Amino acid sequence: MPLRPAAPAASRRALTALTYVEPCLAAEIGAPPKSGRWLIEFKEDGYRTQLHRHGDQVRVFSRGGHDWTGRYATVAQEALKLRDQHFIIDGEMVVPRPDGTCDFTALQIAVANKDSEPIVFRVFDILMREGADVRSLPLIERKEKLRALLAQRPSDRLSFCEHETEIDGHTFLEHAHRLNVEGLMFKLLGSRYRSQRTNDWIKVPCQYREVFFVVGYALDKGKFDGLYLAREQKRELVYSGKVEKFGVPRALVKPILAELDALVDGGRQLTSEVRKEKARWVKPVLRAHIVHRAGLGTTRVRHAKFECWAEPPTIAAPAFAKLIKPAKAHAPAAARLTLADNIMTELVEAVVPTGAQLRAHWRKVAKVALPYLARRPLTLVRHVDGVTFYHKGPLPPLPPAVHPLEIRKADGTRGIRLWIDSVAGLLGLVDIGVVEVHPWAATIDDIERPDMMIFDLDPGEGVEWPFVLETAFRLRALLAAEGFDCWPKLTGGSGVHLVTPIKRSLTHEDLHRCTKALAERLARNHPGRYTTTPGARHRVGKLFIDFFRNRRGQTAAGCYSPRARPGLPIAMPTTWRALEDGIRPNAFTLGGRRSDSPK
User: What mean pLDDT comes out for the span 358-370?
Assistant: 96
- Which residues have CB under 8 Å from 409's CB, separation 6+? 415, 553
- The pLDDT value recorded for residue 331 is 32
Q: How confident is the model over 102-153, as pLDDT tens digits?
A: 887 788 888 888 899 999 999 999 999 999 999 999 999 999 999 999 999 8
Residue 147 to residue 78: CA distance in whole angstroms: 16
Indicate if the pLDDT at residue 467 is higher than 50. Answer: yes
Residue 476: half-sphere exposure toward Cβ, Cα within 13 Å: 18
> Residue 226: beta bridge partners?
244
Q: How confident is the model over 252-283, as pLDDT tens digits?
A: 888 888 888 888 876 567 767 778 888 889 98
- The pLDDT value recorded for residue 293 is 74
Out of 232-241, 410-419, 484-493, 523-532, least confident range? 410-419
Out of 102-106, 133-137, 427-431, 557-561, least confident range? 102-106
Closest residue by Cα to residue 195 from 51, 42, 20: 20
- The pLDDT value recorded for residue 104 is 78
Indicate if the pLDDT at residue 345 is higher than 70. Answer: yes
The more confident residue out of 242 and 235 is 242
The more confident residue out of 189 and 298 is 189
- The pLDDT value recorded for residue 342 is 80
- The pLDDT value recorded for residue 13 is 65
- The pLDDT value recorded for residue 513 is 92
User: What mean pLDDT comes out for the span 307-325?
Assistant: 41
Q: At what angle do helices 423-431 and 355-373 cross, to 10 degrees?
A: 140
Percent of the chain residues topping a pLDDT of 70: 88
Indicate if the pLDDT at residue 5 is higher than 50. Answer: no
Residue 390 to residue 161: CA distance in whole angstroms: 44
- The pLDDT value recorded for residue 221 is 87
Residue 302 to residue 95: CA distance in whole angstroms: 15
Residue 512: half-sphere exposure toward Cβ, Cα within 13 Å: 13
- The pLDDT value recorded for residue 412 is 58
The more confident residue out of 435 and 293 is 435
Among 91-100, 239-248, 362-371, top mean pLDDT goes to 362-371
- The pLDDT value recorded for residue 259 is 85
Query: Which residue segments constitute the domains of the chain, with CATH numbers given?
Result: 25-205 (3.30.470.30), 208-333 (2.40.50.140), 355-439 (no CATH), 452-593 (3.30.70.3300)
Out of 39-48, 305-314, 463-472, 567-576, least confident range? 305-314
User: What mean pLDDT comes out for the span 21-40?
Assistant: 83
- The pLDDT value recorded for residue 10 is 35
Out of 172-181, 378-387, 545-554, 558-567, least confident range? 172-181
- What's the whole-number average pLDDT of the chain? 85
Indicate if the pLDDT at residue 338 is higher than 70. Answer: no
Which of the four pLDDT bands, split at 50, 70 and 90, describes residue 499? very high
Question: Looking at 270-346, which runs of residues are DSSP E strands?
Answer: 279-281, 287-292, 305-309, 343-346
The more confident residue out of 312 and 474 is 474
User: What mean pLDDT comes out for the span 492-498?
Assistant: 94
- What's this model's pTM, rounded to 2 decimal places? 0.51
Residue 16 to residue 35: CA distance in whole angstroms: 36
Which of the four pLDDT bands, split at 50, 70 and 90, describes residue 595? very low
295: left (phi over 0), alpha (psi -120 to 50) or beta: left
**CB–CB of 376/553 below 8 Å?**
no
Q: 15-25 as b/e, with b when 16 or more CB fall inside 10 Å? A: beeeebbebbe
Q: Residue 118's CB: how many other CB atoms inside 10 A?
A: 14
- The pLDDT value recorded for residue 232 is 81
User: What mean pLDDT comes out for the span 202-207?
Assistant: 82
Out of 66-70, 124-128, 390-394, 565-569, least confident range? 390-394
- Which residues have CB under 8 Å from 177's CB, separation 6+? 206
- Which residues have CB under 8 Å from 550's CB, separation 6+? 441, 450, 453, 454, 508, 511, 512, 515
Residue 546 to residue 519: CA distance in whole angstroms: 8
**CB–CB of 274/268 below 8 Å?**
yes
Residue 357 to residue 570: CA distance in whole angstroms: 13
- The pLDDT value recorded for residue 94 is 93
User: What mean pLDDT comes out for the span 209-219?
Assistant: 88
